[in-house]
Amino acid sequence: MRSRRIGAALLLLAPLAAVVTAGPALAADCSTYPWMDERRSPEQRARALLAASSPHQIYRWLVEQPANNPRQTQWAGDVVYPVQVPCTPTVVYTDGPDGIRFTDGVTAFPATIATAATWNERLAYVKGAAQADEGYRKGKNVILAPGIASGRTPLSGRTPEYLGEDALLSGLMAAAGARGVQSDDRVLATLKHYVANEQELDRQTSSSNADERTLRQVYDLPFEIAAKRAGPASIMCSYNQVNGIYACEHPRQNSVLKDDVGFDGYVMSDFGSVHSTAASLVNGLDQELNRPIWFTPARLDAALAAGQITRARIGAAALRVVTAYIRGGLFDHPLPATPVADVSTPAHKTIARTVAEQGAVLLKNVNSTLPIKPGEGTTIAVIGSTASESAHSVCSLPWRFGNPTTMRCEDLVTPLAGITARAARAGATVTYDNGGDPAAAAVTAAGADIAVVFGYQRAGEFSDLADLRLQGGGDELISAVAAANPRTVVVLQTGSAVEMPWLDQVPAVLQNWYGGEQMGPALAALLFGDVNPSGKLPMTFPRSLADTPTAGDIARYPGVVVDGIRQVSYSEGLQVGYRWYAARGVDPLFAFGYGLSYTSFAYRDLEVTGDGRDGVRIRFRLTNTGKRWGTEVAQAYVALPSSTGEPAKRLVGWSRVTLGPGRSRTVQIDLNRSDLADLHLLQYFDPARSGWVTARGAYGFTVGGSSTATLHDTLHVR
């Protein structure tokens, strides 16, 4: 972790009311100011800056725009601040789950859910580093990403922006992405949205109501893992209430994030998610996003006069912000005077393509329909509007704010272009139909040797999905094409799970998510076998919406409106995602962690050793039983003793293993002492003890290619 604990030093700023105001507005030599002395620690530099600041200069750090625009003094609503002390940087925040958003000349990476499907922490890291490089050169140095949620319902509109339904996978992948962003030493990462922000419907007027054990194990845990493993500069609180208290004024910002987890960055709000001055500040909010509304000088002065807040708390909030900025290099690496017009490099495009390739999940492949084996004269029918750039092509995460240009995608290579180019190399030809008329599409499919049909689902911020069906008549289109050509391959471009009423009619299905600007060559490489699929589902695909944890109970979803607040009962408790299906004995359509390859793998000889407290070693033999090189994401799960009341087994680790045909390897997944303690792999949260507990008893470990793994061994913990 790059950050260091501020700890008790936060309280040293109590007497800030009496300090002198700043010196000249413009400094001829920044080296004369102690907060620019790189020989000092970030905390020492931050304290020096605040000690040289007036109270209202300190207030500036508590709101994004005044903090980040040091020479501006006036804002809407007659809000006025003094000019900031000299030698403070201009800082620019940007949204960034899938790239530097609403900006020309950047790389459109695949959606975050596709990154999760790679199960590749190193790839998440390099993607984050590429985004940071592009952000900095575009004049932006705080990236509001990665995003974390827990996949409570696949209807959630922002599912594509998150990392799936498992706390460990989400936490570690988010940590890798945040480390990548902050490896730049000029750019900060922000985890979002804390906490229990699991639906877009009435997100600003809803309350996520859950017991403490559920909150800690399901919703807090991925943030805890990412915070401990990455040291992000900031964490963004969410719009929703948690048990009747708005997240941005909830005490768990202090009690969980700062005290228990030891997070030493700053907590920022989402846009418009602040509802108070004193309650928000006292309970851990450090910075209001966007312009001053609740943390204005007038409101802070009034709260101080009323005894609702203290100068020590204001100083602590400012110290967290300034320390994070200095620690992250923002003071020492000013933004470029002129942003670079095009920052998307060939290397970044390669990363985008690699994420699209490794994140695609092969869901079905009967009789080796894939890979396509074209010969001279082979005809391939490509069908569906999202295969072509001309018709609402799904580049990344579309339709945010009703705007299809969330990512500009100037360099988009469409699936049609990618498939056509690859087919031509083999002497094959491609015909295209946009799928607007299923009958016409069926004619096109019937005249081809193989048909590749695209189905899509749009999802994004501000609204949830109405159902899990394909949009734009996708189900009818696929059925029509499949009836016309028995060799039909379905490519799904979705941000969440979908029902597949046509699944038995087609021999092959490839989940592409939102594949980014390089989806065309990535898809072509996968379909033609130049790349062997290795993606694994980061979320369960149910057979129907009725099988999901929140279905059939309006109290669970969408919730019941009481006095203007939608009360959402998290009464399913710990049974979220694959734990729900296992606990209820419900077979999903495709299990969490599932994904096929063009080869096959076998697991044997599982042995689990250790004491469960200082460490656990999981060893097994993995064999490539097929005829091609391939990569398997080998997963390890554990079922805690029955005395703990855990609903089902949980993921505890994984390993990406590449093997040649017929080759074997002993795979070892080590859970060391810090893993067991920091990630709570074998622990449960006991509210009665206000802490994490490792129970005595038998722990059942399983390994395999998904959450339905059955190769088993038992470890007894005393």
Give me the pLDDT at residue 395, please.
67
Best CA proximity match to 584, nearest among 542, 556, 555, 554: 542
Token pair recorded at residue 215:
């909150």
Alpha helices in 231-345 (DSSP H): 252, 278-282, 297-305, 311-327
The answer to whether residue 450 sits within a structural domain is: yes
Q: Given pLDDT bands bounded at 50, 70 and 90, which one contains residue 410?
A: confident
607/515 same-domain check: no
Is the confidence at residue 320, as pLDDT, over 70? Answer: yes
For the domain that residue 523 is a member of, what is the CATH number?
A: 3.40.50.1700
Name residues whose C-beta falls within 8 Å of residue 426's C-beta, 6 or more positions apart in sequence: 374, 375, 376, 378, 528
- Mean pLDDT for 475-495 is 97
How many CA atoms are closer than 13 Å to the CA of 168, on its beta-carbon side? 23
Identify the bridge partners of residue 508 per DSSP, sorted by sequence position: 365, 489
| Domain end call among 527, 559, 586 | 527
500/633 same-domain check: no
Query: Catalytic residue positions?
Result: 270
Token pair recorded at residue 492:
């799904």
Q: Residue 264 and residue 257: Cα distance in Å, rounded?
A: 9
What single-letter DSSP state applies at residue 601? E
| Residue with token string 């890798």 | 176
Token pair recorded at residue 159:
């599912």
Long-range (24+ apart) CB contacts under 8 A made by 603-607 are 603/634, 603/703, 603/704, 603/705, 603/709, 603/711, 604/711, 606/701, 606/702, 606/703, 606/711, 606/712, 606/713, 607/713
The answer to whether residue 436 sits within a structural domain is: yes
585/712 same-domain check: yes
Is the confidence at residue 27, as pLDDT, over 80? Answer: no
625/712 same-domain check: yes
369/470 same-domain check: yes
Query: Which H or E element spans position 431?
Result: strand 429-433
The answer to whether residue 370 sits within a structural domain is: yes
For the domain that residue 593 is a member of, what is the CATH number?
A: 2.60.40.10
Give the Cβ contact number of residue 553 at 10 Å: 12
Prediction pTM value: 0.94
Least confident of 119-133, 405-419, 687-701: 405-419
More confident: 7 or 281: 281
Is the confidence at residue 196, as pLDDT, over 60? Answer: yes
Give me the pLDDT at residue 389, please.
64
Give the sheet arrangement for strand 601-610, strand by strand: 601-610, 615-624, 664-672
Query: Which H or E element spans position 117?
Result: helix 112-118
Q: Residue 370 and residue 427: Cα distance in Å, rounded?
A: 18
Three-class SS of residue 18? helix
Query: Is 4 in contact with 41 (CB distance < 8 Å)?
Result: yes
Name residues whose C-beta falls within 8 Å of residue 178's C-beta, 6 or more positions apart in sequence: 128, 146, 189, 191, 226, 230, 231, 232
Give the Cβ contact number of residue 611 at 10 Å: 12
Query: Is 574 in contact with 685 (CB distance < 8 Å)?
Result: no
Angle at 50 between CA 190 and CA 133, to 5 degrees: 30
SS (H, E, C) 166-214: CHHHHHHHHHHHHHHHHCCCCCEEEEEEECCCCCCCCHHHEEEECCHHH
Q: Domain of 407? A: 360-527
Give me the pLDDT at residue 5, please.
32
Number of domains comprising the chain = 2
Query: Is 661 in contact with 624 (CB distance < 8 Å)?
Result: yes
| Residue with token string 């709101």 | 63
The answer to whether residue 657 sits within a structural domain is: yes
510/642 same-domain check: no
713/605 same-domain check: yes
Integer CA distances (angstroms), 89 to 32, 61, 141, 265, 302, in order: 16, 12, 10, 18, 29
Token pair recorded at residue 120:
């590749």
475/622 same-domain check: no
Is the confidence at residue 19, as pLDDT, over 50? Answer: no
585/649 same-domain check: yes
The answer to whether residue 164 sits within a structural domain is: no
Query: Is 716 in contact with 644 (CB distance < 8 Å)?
Result: no
The answer to whether residue 73 sits within a structural domain is: no
Query: Is 14 in contact with 315 (CB distance < 8 Å)?
Result: yes
Give me the pLDDT at residue 407, please.
80
482/584 same-domain check: no
Is the confidence at residue 23, as pLDDT, over 90? Answer: no
Give me the pLDDT at residue 16, please.
32
Amino acid letter, 216:
R
Residue 272 region by backbone torsions, left for phi larger than 0, else alpha for psi between -120 and 50, else beta = left
The answer to whether residue 341 sits within a structural domain is: no
518/625 same-domain check: no
| Residue with token string 């599982």 | 606
Query: Please, what's the b/e burial string for 702-712 (b: 16 or more CB within 10 A of its CB; e: otherwise)?
Result: bbbbbbbbebe
Name residues whose C-beta falls within 8 Å of residue 118's C-beta, 6 or more positions apart in sequence: 124, 355, 358, 359, 534, 535
Average pLDDT, the chain: 93
481/385 same-domain check: yes
- Mean pLDDT for 189-196 is 98
Q: Residue 331 and residue 42: Cα distance in Å, rounded?
A: 10
What are the φ/ψ torsions at residue 12 (nearest 5 degrees)? -75, -10
In this predicted model, what pLDDT tens digit does every residue of 424-477 receive, in sequence order? 999 999 999 999 999 999 999 999 999 999 999 988 889 999 999 999 999 999
- Mean pLDDT for 645-655 is 96
Is the confidence at residue 313, as pLDDT, over 50? Answer: yes
In this predicted model, what pLDDT tens digit does every residue of 567-614 receive, in sequence order? 999 999 999 999 999 999 999 999 999 999 999 999 999 999 999 999
In this predicted model, what pLDDT tens digit does every residue of 33-76 receive, in sequence order? 999 999 999 999 999 999 999 999 999 999 999 999 999 999 99
- Mean pLDDT for 197-206 is 97
- Mean pLDDT for 394-416 is 66
* Ranges assigned E (strand) in 282-418: 361-365, 379-383
Give me the sign of the Cα torsion angle 366, 372, 377, 383: positive
Give me the pLDDT at residue 28, please.
53
Best CA proximity match to 319, nearest among 62, 18, 72, 66: 62
Name residues whose C-beta falls within 8 Å of residue 448's C-beta, 6 or more positions apart in sequence: 379, 380, 381, 431, 485
Q: Residue 503 and residue 508: Cα distance in Å, rounded?
A: 9
Give me the pLDDT at residue 8, please.
32
The answer to whether residue 289 sits within a structural domain is: no
| Residue with token string 């906490």 | 195
In this predicted model, what pLDDT tens digit does every residue of 111-157 receive, in sequence order? 999 999 999 999 999 999 999 999 999 999 999 999 999 999 999 99
Of all residues in the chain, the percent with pLDDT exceeding 70 is 94
Give the Cβ contact number of residue 551 at 10 Å: 14
Is the confidence at residue 404, as pLDDT, over 70? Answer: no
Query: Is 63 in contact with 291 (CB distance < 8 Å)?
Result: yes
